[in-house]
Structure 1
Amino acid sequence: MLSFLGLTRKSGNLILGYNKNEEAVKTGKISLMIVSKEASENTKDKFKSYSEKYHVPLIEDFTPDELGYALGLEGIAVVGVTKKSMAKKLQEIYSSIQEEE
């Protein structure tokens, strides 16, 4: 999943960071949100609320270092996927990973 997330970034279909994702979800630009499991409780609660309010799927998993490594950056806590087809593929990959565990 993290490899595909890296490809999503290279294709220009990711929004990185708290503030940019907060704005993008409110304007309907995000098809999937990924929040680090180590993000602050306030951050997790806020994006869970946005997920429900704006009907955007949310994955809460991975450490900031795992997300950052996949994206070629330092630790990242909040990621938004803008392209629907890529968001769907990431959800499918994530679901298959969860079924294996």
Structure 2
Amino acid sequence: MIKENISKYLGLMRRSGNLVTGQELVLSSIRSQKAKFVLVTEDIGESSKKKIIDKCHFYEVPFTILGTKEDFSKAIGQERSVVATENNGFAKGLLKKINE
């Protein structure tokens, strides 16, 4: 379960167009070194989790594992297991909310 303030922040990021959603788009964002922060759900498939985390390590993109697919779908209105932001400000804000 993710905190309500994180859920609302993810919704704001999506509405403002600063959220990349879905595995292929997130991987593309990581590879192109545009991703600033990646969020992965706890219930993502093992092979998908490994692929995303390995890319994050290789390209030195910070990430965290948090919440479930259901939490993400409530927050952003789409059923996704991985999201990223390409905006430094939103990345810092999200990281701050996660660490509260």
| TM-score, normalization by structure 2 | 0.91
Aligned match of 2:95:
91
3-state SS, counterpart of residue 80 of structure 1: strand
Aligned-partner residue type, residue 49 of structure 1:
D
3-state SS, counterpart of residue 20 of structure 2: strand
Kindly indicate whether residue 17 of structure 2 is the aligned counterpart of residue 20 of structure 1: no
Once superposed, what is the RMSD of the aligned Cα atoms? 0.8
Aligned-partner residue type, residue 69 of structure 1:
K
> Unpaired runs of 5+ in structure 2?
1-5
In structure 2, how many angstroms separate the alpha carbons of the residues matched to 1:42 and 1:95? Answer: 27
Q: Return the match for 1:9 from 9, 14, 24.
A: 14
Kindly indicate whether residue 55 of structure 2 is the aligned counterpart of residue 50 of structure 1: yes
3-state SS, counterpart of residue 55 of structure 1: coil
In structure 2, how many angstroms separate the alpha carbons of the residues matched to 1:71 and 1:54? Answer: 26
| TM-score, normalization by structure 1 | 0.90
> Unpaired runs of 5+ in structure 1?
97-101
